[in-house]
Every structure is written in C-alpha cells, then in structure tokens.
Amino acid sequence: MTPAERRASGSLAVIFAARMLGLFLVLPVFALEARSYPGGDDPALVGLAMGIYGLTQGFLQIPYGLASDRFGRKRVIVLGLLVFAAGSFLAAAAPNLHWLLAGRALQGAGAVSAAVTALLADQTRDVVRTKAMALVGASIGLMFAVSLVAAPVLAAHVGLGGLFAITGVLALTCIAVVAWWTPPAPAQMSNVPRGRLADVLAHVPLLRLDVGVFVLHAVQLAMWVAVPALLVDAGLAKDRHWLVYLPAVLASFVIMGGLFPLERRGYLRAVFLGAIGLVLLVQAGLWAASLQPSVGVLSALLFLFFCGFNVLEATQPSLASRLAPPQSRGAALGVYNTLQSLGFFAGGAVGGWLAKNVGWGGLFGACAVLMLAWLVVAWPMQAPRARPTPEQVLADEAEAT
C-alpha cells in the first residue's frame, strides 16, 4: 500500500471499529440489564429493542450510499455519526424500555457503513483493496470480541445507560477521525460508467454473500438474547462473564491466524465452508446445553463460535469487494450492508419472540436451521480469481506484441 492508502485504510477501519464497538458493547449485557427497566420483563420487547437499530439501518444504507455519491462521502459519514451519537445519548437517558427502543432505532438511522466502505474503495487500488477490506472486516470481529470481554465489567460500574453514553462519545470521536485523519475523497471521474442495482441483484455469487451476512448477524444477535442468561443459570454471576469470554476470544484469534495461510494457499473455499459448518455445530451444541447449562460446556461452545465467526466476519467483506463488478461496487456494498443490518434486526426481534414462545432450545434450533440453509446456499461458491496488477497487465501486453 502507498502511504495514502495506509492512512485511508487505517482511519476508516478505526471509524468502523469504534462505531461497531459501540453497537456490540451492549450485546452481552442488554438482555440482563434491560430487565431493570419498566417493561423489561417482556423477552419479545427486549429482543426488539436489541435488534431495532438493524431495521432502521437496513432501510437507510442504500440512501446514505447514494447521498454520498452526490454530496460527498465525508459529509454523509459525519452526518450519520451525529445521528448515531444522538441515538446513543437518547438511549443512555431512557427512563423505560420504550424510550430505549427509540434510542436504538435512532442509532440505526446513522447508517454510514455503505458510505465508509465506498470511501475506502475510492481511495484504494484494486490490487490492494482486498487487504483494506479485510482490515475492516477483521476490525469488526475484533471489536465484537473486545465488547464481550469489556461489557460485563463496564456494565457492573456504569450500567446500561453508561454503556450507551460511552457509545455516543465514541461516535463523536469518529467525527474527529473523519475530519483530521481520513484523506480527502478523490474527485469523482465523470467518465466512469455507473452500475445498476439490477446488475448487483442478478449477480449470484454476491447474492450468496448477501444471504450469508444476513444469516451470520441474525444468528449472532439471537444467540445473545440467550447466552448471558444461560451463563447465569449455570451459576456464573453476570459481572464475571468475562472470565468465559476472554479465554475463548483470545484462543479463537490464535486459531484464526493459523487459518489465513491456508487461504493464501488456495483453500479459501474449504476454510469458508468449514467456518459455516462450525457455527452450525455450535448452535446444535447450544441447543443441547440449554437443557442443563454448564459453564465448562458453554465456554467450549463459545470458543468454537468465535473461531468460526471471526473467520467469516473478516473474510466476507473482502470477498464482496473482490466479486463486485467495479462499475457496481457502490451498489453491491450498499446491498451487502443492508442485508447485514436486517440480519441484526431479525436476530434480535425474532430471537426475542422465539425465547418467549418456544424457549432457549427452540431459539438455538432455529439458528441451526438458518446456518444449515446458508451452508447449502454457499456450497457452490468458488474463490474469486485475483485481479492482475498493473505490472502483470503491461507484461502480458508486451508478451502479446
């Protein structure tokens, strides 16, 4: 990467990471802490409050992306971060679960993921864009891991409202990063052909990834409707959940680091499908563990989940950027981020409903079915071919002449 590309990739990864940390930070403790709010005794409403931001994000990702094309990426990103911060502070001051739900919905209205990803694509060459996208994907997985460790400790000192206040401060910090660290957006080339949304929706390999990101984040959020309560039922106090999360997270990153060399050797498809299968097996294991919760069994299952989740979270954005036609990259990433957001919403809302009506076993059974459906959809995938570097193109042209 050039210095400008490193600066762009680093700053935008920080924005993604800080924003996602704010969103993820409440997940491990939300279902438990929300019980202290008026209305918090309804699991379906709690699940809806957890996932509602995904619905508002899902509706606004593509409009934000289109607005960034017209008015500039950085302006739209700053606007979205201000809206996200406002929603965070509203949730921090919420007197009951309904106001908390409104704050979460306003958080989701700051839907800047597509604009941030598009700005990163603008500022990196094709030959290094996969590295840049993988950095963003890895930062999301890392923030999810950090949130699982930090959230129980922070919640014990500042409560759920304090976590939302921290989230708002992180969003305001991201605005400073956009203003003073992120390079200016390059001038748009008027002669670049514009892709159509219809082209993206007819692109089967991209659609497989869209299905996958929806399922992964739906299952992720649905799990955290139940996992904290299962750990409490197993006898582990909520302020000590980090003792389970921290070893599982750290060990999973060691395993993930050992898998990426396999990807470079041509085993991307096997690694990708294996990670999906691993998360599927974890859901089946959680279904069995919900019958008689045990801290040891839940710890082992969470370790396996993080191994699969971190690989998928780091790999999918990179694949989406490589598979998308250059002229339709903005539309493709907008659709991808929309499905990710809708997956969050579905996981929270449907997960809460399932927990209320069919119990933990039914919830994990539904997650297992979703993962199996994704495995079937993803099975025909092939690893994308590497795009030639400019030097390779010149060498090929010279050889042809």
- Of the chain, the percentage scoring pLDDT greater than 70 comes to 86
pLDDT band at 7 (very low <50, low <70, confident <90, very high): confident
Instruction: State which amino acid sits at residue 235.
Output: G
Does some domain include residue 389? no
Which of 99-103, 120-124, 125-129 has the largest mean confidence?
99-103
> Are 99 and 90 within 8 A, CB to CB?
yes
Mean pLDDT of 237-261: 78
Cα angle, residue 320 at apex, residues 366 and 16 outer, rounded to 5°: 85
User: Tens of pLDDT along 353-397?
Assistant: 898 888 889 999 999 999 999 999 999 988 766 554 444 444 444
Query: Is residue 237 domain-resident?
Result: yes
How many separate domains does the chain show? 1
Question: DSSP characters for 40-98?
Answer: TT-HHHHHHHHHHHHHHHHHHHHHHHHHHHHH-HHHHHHHHHHHHHHHHHHHHT-SSHH
Residue 400 lies in a domain: no
Instruction: Give residue 397's pLDDT.
Output: 47
| H-state helical runs in 181-203 | 197-201
pLDDT recorded at residue 239: 75
Whether 387 maps to a domain, the answer reads no
Q: Which residue has the tokens 């996969």?
A: 130
What tokens were used for 279? 């998360």
Element (DSSP H or E) covering residue 34? none
Residue 188 forms part of a structural domain: no
CATH number at residue 144: 1.20.1250.20
Within a domain: residue 388?
no
How distant is the alpha carbon of residue 281 from its chain centre? 21
Which residues, in sequence order, are CB contacts of 273 under 8 Å at separation 6+? 375, 378, 379, 381
Of 274 and 50, which is predicted with more confidence? Answer: 274
Q: What pLDDT digit, counting tens, does each position of 192-223 carry?
A: 455 566 777 778 888 999 999 999 999 998 98
pLDDT > 90? residue 186: no
Does the residue 392 lie in any domain? Answer: no
Q: Which residue range forms the structural domain that includes residue 319?
A: 3-183+198-382
pTM score: 0.73
Q: Residue 191's pLDDT band (boundaries 50, 70, 90)?
A: very low
In a domain, 316, yes or no: yes
Q: Between the CA of residue 7 and those of 12, 19, 184, 294, 373, what are the distances in Å?
A: 8, 18, 11, 46, 39
